[in-house]
Amino acid sequence: MKAIRVHEFGPPDVMKYEEVDVLHAGEGQVLVKISAAGVNPVEAYIRSGTYARKPALPYTPGADGAGIVAEVGPGMTSFKAGDRVYTSGSLSGTYAEMAICAERHVHRLPKNVSFQQGAALGVPYGTAYRALFQRAHAIAGETVLIHGATGGVGLAAVQLSLAAGLFVIATGGSGRGRSLLSAECVENVLDHTVPGYLDTIRSITKDRGVDIVLEMLANVNLSKDLEMLGKNGRVVVIGSRGTVEIDPRNLMARDAQVLGMTLFNADDSDLRAIHAGLAAGLSNSTLKPVIGKEFLLEDASKAHSTIMDRGAYGKIVLVPS
């Protein structure tokens, strides 16, 4: 079988498309024939060697994927060969034709959801769900600013928020991305590259401020996010690529909180809740992942370059040829 292999950390072209040994499912494991694999920024950070978590070399990247169960480990009754599934973690890596996954990282994929859409679920929707409901404890009627809403996590957060009765303000850096947000029925779409756009948020909320900010680039925005908050407001830091200075008085004045998160910290019971929530949204079609770009598996390096570019538009996936 074919897989992407990383033998050394470095730029995108350290990812090589190679022939590797055929895999088999062990106890508690599921072997999935991958029809599409999701590409997430964290996989680019890990590949570059700059991320805190480093796998042993060589390795195959990827946690998210979707496809058909090819084989299950001895005694497993929850899945069988032929089941349509998506994955939210993999022991062998999903940038491959086949991937071994622990049973808890395999979830049923409804027929109304394509494999490409299934590959967009694990990290992006899992993160958005955790940020909104397990970290910020969002409730219907609250206002959420999704600061960076055009990419995988942001669009997931938009759909989850609208389905849960939140009032959504969303930002994007490109006209194309902002049109996508309007097409997703977000009424208040702003451009985070335009000076003064945060003043518009003040006027949208009639100076009350937002209840929640989901922040994709905290090193750029966190200081201003605190000024956007209303009383008891919460910022969930989802993404950050550097350091930032804040004025703690903006927190004190509002009894506000800054909440960090990484999906890696979600335990089994958190993950069960997340994927039950996603299953409900997929089956009633309130959750519909948007696939912006598809690359062939062998072009994984191009996908990694693209995911770090500006102008996000939904999810990037890899498909085996």
Q: Which residues bind ligand NAP (CB under 6 A)?
A: 40-42, 123-124, 127, 147-154, 171-174, 177, 192, 216-217, 220-221, 238-239, 261-263, 307, 310-312
What are the tokens at 260? 């960090």
d(CA 286, CA 244): 35
Task: State the nearest-atom distance from the C-beta of 40 to ligand NAP, in Å.
Answer: 5
For residue 310, report the phi and psi dihedrals to the nearest 5 degrees.
-80, 170
Task: State the nearest-atom distance from the C-beta of 18 to ligand NAP, in Å.
Answer: 26
Contacts of 160 (CB under 8 A, 6+ apart): 125, 128, 129, 132, 133, 277, 281, 287
In this structure, what DSSP letter does residue 320 have?
A: -
- Determine the residue with CB nearest ligand NAP: 151
- Which C-beta is closer to ligand NAP: that of 31 or that of 145? 145
Task: State the nearest-atom distance from the C-beta of 166 to ligand NAP, in Å.
Answer: 18
Contacts of 209 (CB under 8 A, 6+ apart): 202, 228, 229, 230, 231, 233, 254
Task: State the nearest-atom distance from the C-beta of 71 to ligand NAP, in Å.
Answer: 29
Per the omega criterion (within 30 degrees of 0), is the bond before 41 cis? no
- Which C-beta is closer to ligand NAP: that of 154 or that of 281? 154
Contacts of 4 (CB under 8 A, 6+ apart): 15, 16, 17, 18, 60, 61, 62, 93, 95, 96, 297, 298, 300
What are the tokens at 220? 């750029």
Task: State the nearest-atom distance from the C-beta of 163 to ligand NAP, in Å.
Answer: 18
Query: Residue 307 is which amino acid?
Result: I
Strands 229-237 and 167-172: unpaired
Task: State the nearest-atom distance from the C-beta of 236 to ligand NAP, in Å.
Answer: 9
Task: State the nearest-atom distance from the C-beta of 179 to ligand NAP, in Å.
Answer: 11
Say how many residues make up the chain.
Answer: 321
Q: What would you report as the CA-atom Rg of the chain, rounded to the nearest whole angstrom?
A: 20
